[in-house]
Chains A and B, each alone.
Chain A
Amino acid sequence: MAKLIMRCKASDNVYQHKDFHGALNLALEHVRRHFGPDGVRCYLRQYAKAFHAPLTRDLRRRGLVALKEYFQKIYALEDTVIRIDCSKDELRLETDFCPAVKHVHKMGQTVSPLFKETERAVQGAICEGTPFAYELVSYDKKTGRSVQRFYSASQPKALLRRSSARLHRRKR
């Protein structure tokens, strides 16, 4: 019968509680069951507009490099390698898996069929009110592997077609 005591300071540890991915998955499922797929999108848009307001401002001010730096930072925190191709008019982000989806599987949960909205609805909301648009080019539900692109909304359509064809070739 032990008496134990533990004292910890914030600086003793790294903030990385991966089970929060499972918590988010459950939250999405709860919202989906009660308010449908549009409810999930509406919730995630509300979150993104509120939480990412500084990132949206930065995107307006500095362009796509703001997103590049943001993605590099958060995927590094999740110990995940990504590929980013960024120019003034277009940013392409490719991942081999989503660390959130991977951890949800590890926890033994069923991944919400709307988990991809954590990319699509969130990134779309971040781009609102900026000169940039967003496209979820491909997404694998099992792994969260994805290709995402952010592009100048004023980019001519011919350029967009060329860009999509290039992505398609790369995927094959």
Chain B
Amino acid sequence: MISCTEFIAAYSELFKFLEKKGGEKAVKAFWNFFSDKYLSSSLKRLVKKRGIRGCWDYWKATLNEEAANFTMEVDEKAGVLKIIMHRCPSKGRLLEWKHLKPYADYCRHCDVLYRRILEPLGFRYEFDMSETDKARCSLVIRKKSRQPSK
């Protein structure tokens, strides 16, 4: 068994495996597949039902289960959700495991996976990766003024 507490290592090694097999294109193809399959019954369903509050519900559950160090704010009236990740549990672990070299563009999956779900639902997704080498990042999700696609 690969414990859920060890999954992050398997995830990072998967990206390396795919890149060796088919370059960045193969990694992106997996991220797209994964977004469609993994997030459609969770994040997508919640956002369709509850709008920006669905984002809050999704990240409240996952970030607590992942024991993240974060601050999250939602303003439903303005349609904005912000997350400041002070210490990402995934990247943090990868950096702590000194014997393991993380996939170089590991944090990019958070950009691809969530953007792919949220933009078609009428949200703008801004992801700041400038400090991911310290396991820190931030994201802002804003409701666009136009109606989302169905």
Contacts and interface: CB of A to CB of B under 8 A. Distances in A.
Q: Is chain B a partner of chain A in the same complex?
A: yes
Interface stretch (A15-23, A61-69, A156-164): A15-23
Given A20-B7, A54-B99, A74-B5, A8 B69 contact: yes
Contacts of B41: 107-108
A47 B14 contact: yes
A46 B65 CA distance: 27
A172 interface: no
Counting contact residues on chain B (CB < 8 A from A), the size range is: 35 or more
Query: B-side binding surface: helix, strand, loop or mixed?
Result: helix
A47 B10 contact: yes
Contact of B13 (A51, A77, A98, A103): A51
Interface stretch (A25-33, A83-91, A127-135): A25-33
B13 A43 contact: yes
Given A16-B65, A46-B13, A51-B100, A35 B1 contact: no
A30 B33 contact: yes
Interface in A109-139: 118-119, 122
A77 B60 CA distance: 22
Given A7-B71, A13-B65, A24-B2, A46 B16 contact: yes
B74 A3 contact: yes
Interface string B1-39: 111111111110110111001100010001001100110
A40 B3 CA distance: 17
B76 A5 contact: no
Nearest to B74: A4
A78 B13 contact: no
Interface of A: 1-24, 26-27, 30-31, 34-35, 39, 42-43, 46-47, 50-51, 53-54, 74-75, 77-78, 98-100, 103, 107-108, 118-119, 122, 144
A-B interface, 7 closest residue pairs, ranked by CB to CB distance from nearest: A20-B7, A17-B65, A20-B4, A1-B77, A15-B67, A47-B13, A13-B67
18 contacts: A6-B60, A6-B71, A15-B5, A17-B4, A17-B7, A24-B2, A26-B37, A27-B10, A30-B33, A31-B18, A35-B21, A43-B13, A50-B99, A50-B101, A51-B100, A78-B1, A103-B4, A118-B1
